[in-house]
Chains A and B, each alone.
Chain A
C-alpha cells in the first residue's frame, strides 16, 4: 500500500515543475526526511529541494524569541518561583515540580488561555455569573463545580492548594517577563506570539511563499489559529485520516478530524471523501499473549528473521525499511536490540541509547556517592572515602583500561589493611587518573569536578571503535548545562541534593543512534511513527499504561478548571494515541501485536484498550496466540568426587614428611565428619571466598580478638609467678584490658603501632562484648583459682600412622590448659552457639545426626594432651568457656555426656575409643576408594559456602 507521504510526493511532483518555492511543514522532522526521499524517487534530474520545516521550526523561524534548553528554563522558573513564594525549597526538590509547572504554562500559552483569568481565586465569589459574563454557561458550570466546595467546608489540603494557586499568576507573569527581557521563551510563549502576530498580519515573506501543511492531527489552539490564518491566505493542508475512525463518532482517534471538518477555515481543506484503507486494504493480523516482557522481544526477533528470509536479496536495506518495530515501552529497547537476528545488518533506531545504561553513568554515580559519603575521622581528622565506592571505582572498566595494574594494587591494599574508610593519601598513584578522581571536593565545585573527570576520560579513552568518547561527550553536554546554572545561582546544593538532581536529569537522557534513517529495519517509539507508513508493523507492549501511555503526571491546574478553559485533559492524550495507533495500521498489510499477560505489582496494565477495540469492533480476522514453553522440573544431581591421583597428591600435604607440613585441624576434621564434600572443596580444592573488607565486625572478628586478648592477659599472669595463678591475680584493671583490646584491633586491622583505634559502628559493640566476656572468664577463673597454667595458645600436632604407612599430621592450638586439685582443664573459649552436651563418642564422628563440633575439638585436644603429658594421677577435663555456660545460672566447667546433669570430670576413659575412631576417620580421608560426597543431613548445609552449588 503506498505510504501517505509517497502519495503526496507524487502529487506534488505532478502539480509543480520546480519545488524550491514551496515550503512544507510537517509535524516533525522525520516526516520531512521521508518526504524528501519520496520526492527524489519521483524525479529524474537534480532539483532544489523545497524548504521543509517541522511545525516547531516553523514557529521559531517566525518568532524572535529563542528557546533555551529545558534545564535552563526550569532553573529560571525556580528563581522566580522561590522569590515569589519566598520559600527556599532546594532546586533538586523543585526540579520535578518545576517541570510540571513549566508544562502547565506551556499549555496555557499554546491554548491561548488568559493566565490571569485562569488562576483567579474564586473561592470567595458566590455569584460567578456576573463576574464572568464572557464565559459560556458550560465553562461557568465547571468553575462552579470546582469552587463551590471551597466556600463550603474548608480543609487543610484546600488551603495548601489556595496558597499555591494565588501565587501562580505572579509566578507566570514574572517568569515570562524575565525570559522576554532576554528575548528568550519556551515553546508555548513562542507559539502564542506567532499566533497573535500572524492572525493580525501575515508577513510578506510568508504571504508570497506557497505553504503546504501535511499530516497534522491534534492542533493546539495556537497552531489552529496560525494554520487557519495561513489557509485563509492560500496555504494548503493534506490530512492523513481514515473513514474507519473519522466517520464513527465514538472513535476517539477521529475526534480532532471531526472537529476540523466542521472548522470554519479548515473544513474547506478536506477535499473529497476520506480513504477506507483501514477496513479495505488487505491485512494479516496476529496477536500474541506473552507472560511479561522479554518473551515479546524474543518472539519479535524470530518474526524478523522469518521476514528476512522472504525478502528479495538485491536491495535488502530498502526492502527492510518497509518493516517497523514499535516500542511503546522505552525500556524494551535493549531487550529488542539483543533479540534481533544475527544475519540482520541494516537497522535504524529512532530512539536513543539511555545514558543511565552507560558505564560512564555508573562511574560518575559512584563518584558522586563517594563524595556524599566522604568523611573526616573525628579522631585522626583525615578525610577518607568509603571502601565500597572506592573499590567500585577502582574496579571500573575505565580504571582497568587506563591504569589496571595500579588500580588492582590499591584494591588489594585496601582489603589487606581492611580499610572501611580509605584515607586519600592511600589512593594516589603514578597515573594522573588517581589524583583526578580521589580528592575531597566541595559540592560547590561539583560540576567543575565532574567536567574535569569527563574531559580526562574523554581525551584518554581513544579507542575509535568503542562508544566511550560519545558517552563522555554527552555527559559533558549535560554537566556543562548544570555548570552554567550553578555558576549563577547563589546557594549550591549539598552533594546529596546534587546527586538527586544529577540522577533526575541524567536518567531521562538518551544518546541518538545513527544509521541510514531511510534504510533497514526501523525501530521506533510510538510518536516517531507519525506520518510514516510500513507494510509490516510489529508493536510490542500493547498494555494499558504503555499504549496509551499513562496520563502524564500531575498538573497545578485542577481537572474542572482545565475543562472550563479548554485545556487538554487525559482524554485529549488518549485520543492522540488512538490516532497514532489506527493511523499506523490503516495502510499496513502485516500486523503483529504483542502484549503481556502479567499485571504490574499493583494490578495495572491489562491488554491495551486499542487491542480490545480492534478485536471487538473491527471484526477483522485476528490470529490469537499465546507464548507457552514446555517447562521441565530440574532433578538435582548428587555431586560425588573420586579420589584421583591429583586429590591423593594434594591430601599428602597433611602427611608428615611432605614439605608443606600442613596438619589436619580439628575444624577441617569437623568439616569432613559433617560433609566430606565440604572438606574436599574447602581443604583440598581450596575453594574459598575472596577476602573482602570486614566492615561487618562479625562473630569471626569477635572470636579472634577475644582469643588474642585472653592469650596476652593470661600470658602476663603466667609469667608473674611462673604459671601459678591466685584469685587476687585475676583482679585486672579496665585500663589493662582496654590496652589489650586496642592492641588486638590494631593487629587485626594491620594498623601501625601508635595508630589510635577508632571505635565506631559495630566495633564499639564488639569491644564491649569482649570486655564483658573477659570479665566473666576472669570471674569464673577466680572462683576456680588457685591454678597452674600449663599451656596457652599452644600449637601441637600429632602423627597418626595409617595402614598405608603414611603418617598424617593432626594439629591445632590449645587455648589453655590449666591444672588444679589433680585435674587438668582443657579450656576452649567459644563465642558462638556451641553447647556442652554431646551424646557419646560415636556421635562426635557422625555428621549425619546432631554432632557437637566444640566437644570434638576439645576432646581431641584432651586426647593429644593425654598422649604427651599424661600423669596417671591427674584427671583430664576438657570443656568450653562459652556464652551460655559462662553466663548461665550455675557455672560448672566441663562437657556433659548424654543426659547427665553434671559435667564429666575425667575424659580419660573415653580417649581410647576416641583415638580409635580418630584413626578411622583419618584413614577414611586417605582411603582412595571412598569418594567425597554430599551429606544427607541438610542441616549442615544451612550456613555452608557451597549451598547454591549443591542446590541445598
Chain B
C-alpha cells in the first residue's frame, strides 16, 4: 500500500510555507490543468492564507515566464519534465487558476468550516443569513444579565440556587455579587473541553435539582469528616494542654509540626498529612519534641494518651479523606456549575434573537452536520470535491476540528489520493484555545495507520545563523530531558525528539548572549538590572551597525512589555541616554487606539452625547480639546451652568442634529467639527478607529450606547498594526511573535514559571467513581489540592502539559532570532525546576561546562547580519489630511414625502395626501377601457391600504368620467402618455392626436401656479414647431377637478 498520507514534522524556520507551496504546485502541475480545483490547502492564521495564495501565484508566474530558481529545479526533477514543459504547464495552470479563482481553495480552517456550515444551514435549523459573532465577552454580558433578570417567583429553583450561591460566597468572606464570577465561569462554555461533555451535562432533566441533592450529600460528607477530625484534634490539644505541653516544646515549634496539624484541624481547617514531617509524626511520637528535661515525660504522655487518638485519626483519614477532599474540590465551583444549563439556554436564546453563529461554536456545530451526512454529500452541498488536503500549523488543531477533517481525509485516502499535514508540536502554544498537540504527536498515525502514513522531518533551519541553530539544538534536547525527568513523563522528550536541526547558511556565525543577575549591592532585584541592561544591548548592536527596528524584545506577558516601554521612554530623557543612539520601541500596547488624542476626543464626545449630564464626559471632552486644565477648566466643566463655556459653541449648537445621525455619520461629523483630520500624526489612528466604527455599525447596531459598551470591553485590544517603516524596536509577546522572525532578539525576562497562561483553567472531567459519577461531568480548578483526590490522574496529566506549554514558549522565543539571541534572567539553582530560567541555566551548567560561569554566557561574536532586504515596487503614499464633509449640504434624497403627508394631524389615515398617487395613475391611463388594469397594477406597486386605494380610484374615475374630459379617453384619439421629446426636459403627461388637432394635457396636484401655464405653452410651441396642426393645451387641477384651457384652437388658428 502506498503511503498517501504524509506528516511533515517541521521545526522553527524549516520553510514550512515553501514546502506546502511546493507540494501544491507539484500536484497542480502533475495532472490536467483544471486539477488544482481538487486541492484544498488549510492554514490557521488569516495572513498565512493570503501569503500562501500569492506565493503559489508568484512561483507559477516565475516558471511561466521562464524565471528559474531552486524550486523550479526541484520541481522539474520530481516531475521529470524539462524547462519548456514546466514553462507551458505553469502558464496553463496559472491562467486557469486566475480565471476559475473560486476553485482556488486555500483558506483558513474557520473559513472552510463556515463554507460547509453555510451550505447546511437549512438542515441545521439555522437562520440563513446568520452573522458570525467573535466578541464572546460582549455576548456573555448580555447572557448573564438576562439570566439575572429571570430571578423571581417564576423561577424559584434558579432563584434559590443563586441566592444560596451568593450567601455561600458571603459566608466564605468572598464577594457576594456572583455576577462577575458567573461571567468568568461562563467563558467555559465556549471551550471545547466543555463542548465535549456539554450534551452529557445538559441531558439531565432538572439539573439544578440533581445538583442540589449532590450538593447536600457532598457538604454532609465534608462536614462529617471535618467534625471527626476537629473533635479528635481538639481532644489531642486538650490532653497536651492539660499536661501543659506548649508549642515551644515541639521540635520546629509551630511550623509544620504535628502540633500545628492538631491546631488547624481543631479550627476546622482541612489539613492533610501532606508533609514528610507529619507523615513520620503520625507513626510515632519519638521525634515530636525538642531536647529538654521534660522530653521523656512528654514522650510518655504522647505515646500513651495522644498516639491512640492519632491512630484513630489516621485510620479514619485513610478511610474517608479521598472522597471528602474530592468533594471539597468539586464544591469549589459547584454553584456556578449548577447554573451552566441556564447559561447555555440563555445563550441559545441570544443566538436565536440576534441570528448569530458564535465562531467558537462552529466546529462542534459542524461536527453534528458531518456526522449526519456522508462525505460525498457534504462535497455535493459545498459544491466542490476535494481529493488532496494540505493542512498547515497542524499542532494547533483542536480535537473537534480534527474530528471534522477525519472523514474527509479518510475518504480521500481510501480513493488513494495524497494528503499531507505540516506541524510542529514544539510550537504548539495555543492549548488555551483548545489546540491539542497530541493529535499531531500520536493520534493521526493511530487513526490512519502506520501503513498509510509517512513521517517526514523538515530538519534544516533556513532562518537562523549556525551558532544559534547549534545552541538551540543542544538547549532544547536536554531541556526537554530535564523537564521530562522532573515531571516524570516521557512526553516532553517525545515532543522534542526532532528538535535537532541542520544549519543552512552562515554556518558558524551569529551569536548568543546570556546574563543572569542576583540581587546586587545596592539591593536591586534582577528585573531592574535586566531592564537597565536593555539600552546597553541596544547600544552594542547599533555600534555594530544594526538598525533599531531589526531588534525585537520578546516578553511572556503584556505588562512586562509595557514596563519595558515605560522604562525606555523615560530613559531617553536621562543623562545615561547616549547621544546618537536610538532607544525607540513600539508595541501593540503603545499603539493602542485609545492612546490617541483624536480617538479620545471622539469617545468623550459620544459619552457626552449619550448623556449631557455626565460631567465626567464633559470634563474629559473639554480637557482633551484644550490640552491643559488651566483657567479652572474642570471646575467649569463640572458646574451646572458654566460648562458650556468649555465646549465649542458650534458643537453645542449641533447637539440636536447629532442625535439624528447614525453612529458612523456621527463620528465623521465630530471629526469634521473638531478638525481632527488636520493632525497628520493622528491620521493612522483616526482611520483605524473609523474602520472599527464602520465595522461595528455594519455588523452589530447603530446604537451609540452599545457601541460605547463594546468599546469599553475591547479598546484595550484595538491598536494600529506595528509598521515596519518606523525605526523602533518591536516589543512583542511570545504568542505575538509566533511565525515571525527578527534579526536580533532580546528575551529580558527569561524566568516565567511553569504555570498556566493567565488564570488557572477549569478542567472538565468525567468522574468514573462513586459518588461523583452520578454527575455527567465536572468542572474542577487545576491545583495541587487535586492530589490525593479521585482526580489525581487528571491533575498529573495537566501538570505535564503545563510544563510542556512553557517549554514550547521558550522554544518559540529562542527560535525567532536570525542572527543574535540575547537572554537575561535571575540566577537560579534551587533545583526545584519551576521556572524556565532555571532549566536554561541547568542546561548551560551541564552542556557548556566551563563556558558558563553561572552569570554570563556567550557564543559567537556580536556582529550584524548581512542585508537580505527584498526591494518592493510599492510607492508609499501618505494621506496628508482626512477629508470629511457634510454631504447633506450637497445632495438631496428623492422628495416624495413632503407632499405625501398633510401638515396638520387630522384624524387617522387622511393624514396622507393622495395627490401624487392620482397624478401618477392618470398619466398611465390611455383609454377608459384600460383604466382598471392600470389602477390594479398601481395599487400592487404602491401597496396601498384598501382605504387609500378606494380613495385614489374614486378620484381617478371621476376624472375619466368627467363630463368635459370623458371623451379624451375614447378611442378616437391616438395617445402618447408621459410623452418625451428630445431637447425638451420634462415629459408631457398626455398628448392626444386627433384628426387635424393635437391636445396637450397636464395634470397638476398642487395649487395653481403661473409657471404651470408657461410650461404647457412651451410644450405647445414645440409641438407646433414639430409641425403638428392646431395644438390645444389643458391644465387639469386634481385638487378640485378644474380643467383650464390654456391654449384654445381659436387663438392659434390664423386667418
Contact = CB atoms under 8 A, between A and B. Distances in A.
Given A685-B635, A948-B594, A602 B662 contact: no
Contact of A765 (B162, B613, B659, B881): B162
Contact of B122 (A554, A641, A945): A554
Given A48-B980, A558-B380, 18 more contacts: A66-B937, A157-B377, A158-B377, A294-B694, A334-B662, A455-B912, A467-B888, A477-B942, A511-B893, A554-B121, A571-B100, A603-B111, A630-B726, A633-B586, A687-B634, A762-B179, A768-B166, A887-B170
A470 B893 contact: yes
B877 A626 contact: yes
Residue from the set B694, B885, B943 with the largest chain A CB neighbour count within 10 Å: B943
B897 interface: yes
Interface in A332-359: 334-335, 337-342, 344-345, 347, 349, 353, 356-359
Given A49-B980, A685-B637, A687-B616, A623 B875 contact: yes
B272 to A, nearest CB: 19
Interface stretch (B44-52, B235-243, B327-335): B44-52
A134 to B, nearest CB: 24
A43 B152 contact: no
A609 interface: yes
A681 B615 CA distance: 10
B88 interface: no
16 contacts: A48-B976, A96-B129, A294-B694, A341-B885, A455-B909, A459-B905, A470-B895, A500-B353, A554-B122, A627-B877, A647-B635, A687-B616, A689-B614, A761-B152, A764-B159, A765-B166
Nearest to A52: B980
A292 interface: yes
A612 B57 contact: yes
A626 B874 contact: yes
A769 B171 CA distance: 10
Nearest to B720: A631
A471 B150 CA distance: 37
Interface in B996-1026: 1022, 1025-1026
B229 to A, nearest CB: 15
A397 interface: yes
B123 interface: yes
B871 interface: no
A574 B723 CA distance: 35
Interface in A918-952: 945-946, 948-949, 951
B890 A345 contact: yes
Interface in B374-418: 374, 376-377, 380-381, 383
Contacts of A624: 873-875
Contacts of B313: none
Contacts of B623: 639, 949
A483 B945 contact: yes
B983 interface: yes
A97 B687 contact: no
B159 to A, nearest CB: 6
Contacts, number: 481
A565 interface: no
Contact of B268 (A305, A396, A644, A889): A889
Contact of A602 (B100, B132, B631, B937): B132
B896 interface: yes
Contacts of A887: 170-173
Interface string B921-947: 000000000000000110011111100
B419 interface: no
A639 B624 CA distance: 11
A765 B127 CA distance: 37
B876 interface: yes
A761 B372 contact: no
A353 B893 contact: yes
B891 A629 contact: no
B850 interface: no
Given A46-B1025, A631-B591, A764 B372 contact: no
B885 A342 contact: yes
A602 B877 contact: no
Contact of B595 (A474, A702, A951): A951
Interface in A34-57: 36, 39-40, 43, 45-49
B369 A470 contact: no
A688 B892 CA distance: 42
Of A295, A500, A650, most B-chain CB atoms within 10 Å:
A295
A476 B912 CA distance: 10
B637 A884 contact: no
B619 A685 contact: yes
Interface stretch (B76-84, B102-110, B489-497): B102-110
Given A685-B619, A769-B176, A641 B634 contact: yes
Interface string A349-382: 1000100111101100000000000000010000
A473 B980 CA distance: 28
Given A357-B702, A469-B900, A635-B569, A551 B102 contact: yes
Contacts of A344: 890
A282 interface: no
A100 B128 contact: yes
A650 B102 contact: no
B762 interface: no
A234 interface: no
A911 B536 CA distance: 51
A374 to B, nearest CB: 14
Contacts of B898: 464, 469-470
A848 B897 CA distance: 64
Contacts of A946: 616, 620
A69 B173 contact: no
Interface stretch (A198-206, A270-278, A512-520): A512-520
Interface string A506-550: 000001111100000000000000000000000000001000000
Top-5 shortest CB links A-B: A473-B897, A884-B173, A603-B46, A469-B897, A690-B613
Nearest to A13: B982
A726 to B, nearest CB: 27
A432 B905 contact: yes
Contacts of A340: 883, 885, 887, 890
A160 B372 CA distance: 10
A39 B151 CA distance: 73
Contacts of B1025: 45-46
A632 interface: yes
B911 interface: yes
Interface string A572-607: 001000000000000000000000000111111010
B879 A629 contact: yes
B900 A628 contact: no
Nearest to B715: A948
Given A295-B687, A601-B134, A681 B634 contact: yes
A149 B377 contact: yes
Interface string A379-390: 000000000000
B656 A40 contact: no
B959 interface: no
A472 interface: yes
B50 A599 contact: yes
B644 interface: no
B981 A46 contact: yes
A646 B632 contact: yes
A796 interface: no
Contacts of B879: 295, 298-299, 302, 627, 629
B120 A773 contact: no
A574 B383 contact: no
Nearest to A484: B943
B114 interface: yes
Contacts of B890: 340, 344-345, 347
A760 interface: yes
Contacts of A951: 595
Q: Which of B179, B590, B874, B886 has the most CB of A within 10 A?
A: B874
B1041 interface: no
Contact of B883 (A301, A599, A646): A301
